Amino acid sequence: MSTVDHPASANPDRYFLIFLTTVPGKTPSPEVLANHAAHLSLLDRCGVLVLAGPVPERGGGMIALRVASMADAKAIADDEPFVRGGYQTYELGTWVMSNLKNRYRPDLQQERQK
């Protein structure tokens, strides 16, 4: 991660998602796997990692982040060892959580204006 100062989102119900997809025929070495784990650990220590893990049905994984912007999420995804090494590609998305606080109706109009 190039910088560890990613402020939390102004919207506590908004997360940024990195959907990782495995590149067929590319198997990461034990060193790349260790670098991936270290990357997740750093994100966790910096307070931006919400959750992460493989999604076997998709042939890849997902990383959920609490960062200020899509640009911050992209910088983190670009720095992911699986991505840098060409083992996985990614797509980014915004997840706006439905919960009791927003009566299970998040304000998507507000999100679209950002």
**Model pLDDT for residues 4-47, shown as the tens digit of each residue:** 455 565 677 899 999 999 999 999 999 999 999 999 999 999 99
Cβ of 83: how many Cβ atoms within 10 Å? Answer: 19
- Domains and their CATH numbers in the chain: 14-99+107-112 (3.30.70.1060)
Structure tokens at 109: 């109009």
Distance separating alpha carbons of residues 8 and 55, to the nearest angstrom: 25
What is the rounded CA–CA span in Å between residue 111 and residue 72? 16
User: What does the pLDDT read at residue 48?
Assistant: 96
Bridge partners, 63 (sequence order) = 18, 52
Looking at residue 30, its pLDDT comes to: 97
pLDDT of 53-112, one tens digit each? Answer: 999 998 999 999 999 999 999 999 999 999 999 999 999 999 988 888 888 988 877 666
For residue 4, what pLDDT is reported?
A: 45
